[in-house]
Amino acid sequence: MRVFAQALDLVDDPARVDEYLRHHRAVWPEVTEGLRAIGVRGMRIWRGGTRLFMLVETDDGFDPARYQDYARDPRAQEWDALMRGFQRPAPFAKDGEWWSPLEEVFDLAWFPPSAAATTARHGAQTT
């Protein structure tokens, strides 16, 4: 599995933000089916103010350059156009980027537990 993190902003209008959230409680099946068809296995979006953070989990063979292939269905294209009316690129986006890729800076898995920490966690003495 591969994992991608991306960010963008919502327009700074509370009524539009509420509308965006309502849409995401009832995503059209053509969108979810299209995402699964291109190898997306999980997708979650969080919001802090107007900033959105999206975590995408994909098959190992997923090609991020082909992400827009999910919108082959006209209804998925309609969804994409509708959502863009609520969104704007983050201030750090490069020219032409919509959802901007984020750099991974920490993963707990990079630091396997030490023997002392493992022993202490299980209630045994380390000395």
The pLDDT of residue 70: 86
User: For residue 123, what is the DSSP state?
Assistant: T
Asked if 6 contacts 63 with a C-beta cutoff of 8 angstroms, the reply is no
**Tens digit of pLDDT at every position of the chain (127 positions):** 999 999 999 999 999 999 999 999 999 999 999 999 999 999 999 999 999 999 999 999 998 888 888 888 999 999 999 999 999 999 999 999 999 999 999 999 999 998 766 666 766 655 5
Q: Examine residue 114 and state whether it is found in any structural domain, yes or no.
A: yes
Write the CATH number for 51. 3.30.70.1090
Q: Examine residue 71 and state whether it is found in any structural domain, yes or no.
A: yes
The pLDDT of residue 59: 95
Q: Examine residue 126 and state whether it is found in any structural domain, yes or no.
A: no
Domain span at 11: 2-121
pTM of the model: 0.84
Per the structure, the count of domains in the chain is 1
Query: What are the beta bridge partners of residue 53?
Result: 7, 46
